[in-house]
Amino acid sequence: MVLAFAAFLTVLLAVTPVSALDERDRLFLVGERALADHFYPVARRALERFVAQYPGDARQPRALLMLGKARLELKDPESALEALARAQGTLTAPEDVQEAKLWRAETLFRLKRFAEARRLYDEMMRADAAGPLAPDALYGLGACELELKHPDAAADAFRQLVTTWPEHARAPAATLGLAHALYEAKRASEALPLLAGFAAKYPQSKLVPDAQYQLGWTKFNSGDQRGGLADLQEFVEANPGHEQAPAARRLIAQGLTRYGTRPQLQQAYRELMAQTPPTAEALYEAAGVATRLGQTKDRDAAWRKLKAQFPDDPRTHKLAFDLAREAVKARNYKEAVALGQTAAQSDEDGVRAEAWLLVGESELKLQHYTPAVKAFEAVGAVNDLTAEVRYRALAGLGLAREELHECAAAMAAYQEVVARSPDNALRDWARQRHAAVKNRSCRPPAAATKRGDKKS
């Protein structure tokens, strides 16, 4: 490509007499040829000069259209949209107007302005439903409908393309789009034959591996987990460097945690831990596989790597909470506190509240009453609480306040549990504690006044 373009420049700029080709012609032709040869930076520079210096030239609309394409290919969609809008407003030939609309729609799609892109694709179909750009418009229309969560409409568009233009270059991609839309419309039984027969129908298509991955994914997520796993494993073996291979490996690991043999699980663990670049999802799944295998050291290795590399990921917080609960069962309350504090950094109200509750109850076991108060109060600060978590936290707060000889605060906490908790046993317990505190002296001993908490 570069050599062809260099040869063209040599002929154009060195051989052609200046009298036969003025600057505006050179700029236009260089931009046009560079765009055709995918030499986008040169095309952009030449066309931007042409557009700026020769606004009255009759080729200005075409230059704007080409400039928009070049900018879009250079991942500058905002400025591409500006050039394409100007082009559409000045082009007169119907086929040129359709082309400008197509590229504007593509640009809007890349900007995730799906409703606007859909409108343009629809306009193209209404203007010329049998024209040379109609298959591209139908494909874009289907893609927009998918993004807008209209799977039935997406399926209609993709099916029309495949049926009307079965030999078009877009047909293989439209077939995959149709299968995806059918799955989203809860019609997986219609999607599976399209994917299973893809390689036979389009044997030369570069999308054959994508169809194989999509077949396994669709089976796995529509009830045929074992069949999906087999297809995904075959896909990974045949296409280890494919962009979907990491996703396939993660899905395989998820499936093997439920259906795999011990050797398969061990292999899945090694692959998840060795994934490059590492992902939070893979490390979380690796910890789950190790847990099923009963390999605590391997689980802890996955946990350490997950926490070190993805400290703010929701999976890190979730695994920390699961490990904290396990530590409580093992009466390892110090570890439970540390893990619970990590889990409490979650953005999810439910995880955060339960994590602080676990921390507070573990601090009580360690006789660390002041930190326990802080943890229980953190539970109360969470917006969305279940009744169980709310009143367990208040009960724990009452106990911590009681141990700190803060009797009025302890009784207030107990009283709220008695008045509002839906748990009968917890209400009875809180009533007894309230009465016990009310009937005793609340002056703290000298040691408690100075220290407040016992050392663990």
Both 304 and 391 in one domain: the answer is no
Q: How far apart are CA 139 and CA 175, in angstroms?
A: 10
**165 part of a folded domain:** no
Same domain, 446 and 339: yes
Last residue of a domain, one of 310, 331, 351: 310
CB distance 116 to 143 below 8 Å: no
325 in a structural domain: yes
How far CA 269 is from CA of 231, 252, 290, 294, 316, in Å, comes to: 19, 11, 7, 12, 17
Same domain, 411 and 322: yes
* pTM of this prediction exceeds 0.75: no
| Residue 350 domain-assigned (yes or no) | yes
Task: Give 271-295 pLDDT, tens digit per residue.
Answer: 889 888 888 988 998 998 899 889 9
Backbone angles phi, psi at 165, to 5 degrees: -125, 65
Average pLDDT of the chain?
A: 90
Kindly state whether residues 355 and 384 are assigned to the same domain.
yes
Backbone phi and psi for residue 442, each to the nearest 5 degrees, phi listed first: -110, 10
> Do 367 and 236 sit in the same domain of this protein?
no
Q: How confident is the model at residue 80 (pLDDT cuts 50, 70, 90)?
A: very high
DSSP state of 346: -
Q: How far is CA 53 from the centre of its chain?
A: 45
Identify whether residues 454 and 318 lie together within a single domain.
yes
Among 260, 290, 310, the domain-final residue is 310
For residues 410 and 437, state if they share a domain: yes
> For residue range 371-380, what is the model confidence (pLDDT) as tens digits?
999 999 999 9
Q: Which CA distances in Å does 166 have to 135, 138, 156, 169? A: 10, 13, 15, 9
Q: Is 14 a residue whose pLDDT tops 50?
A: no
Looking at the structure of the chain, the number of domains it has is: 2
Inside any domain, residue 333:
yes
Same domain, yes or no, for 288 and 406?
A: no
- Segment 147-151 shows an average pLDDT of 96
- Whether 56 maps to a domain, the answer reads no
Domain enclosing residue 251, as ranges = 224-310
The pLDDT of residue 263 is above 80: yes
Same domain, 324 and 428: yes
* CA–CA distance, 133 with 36 (Å, rounded to integer): 18
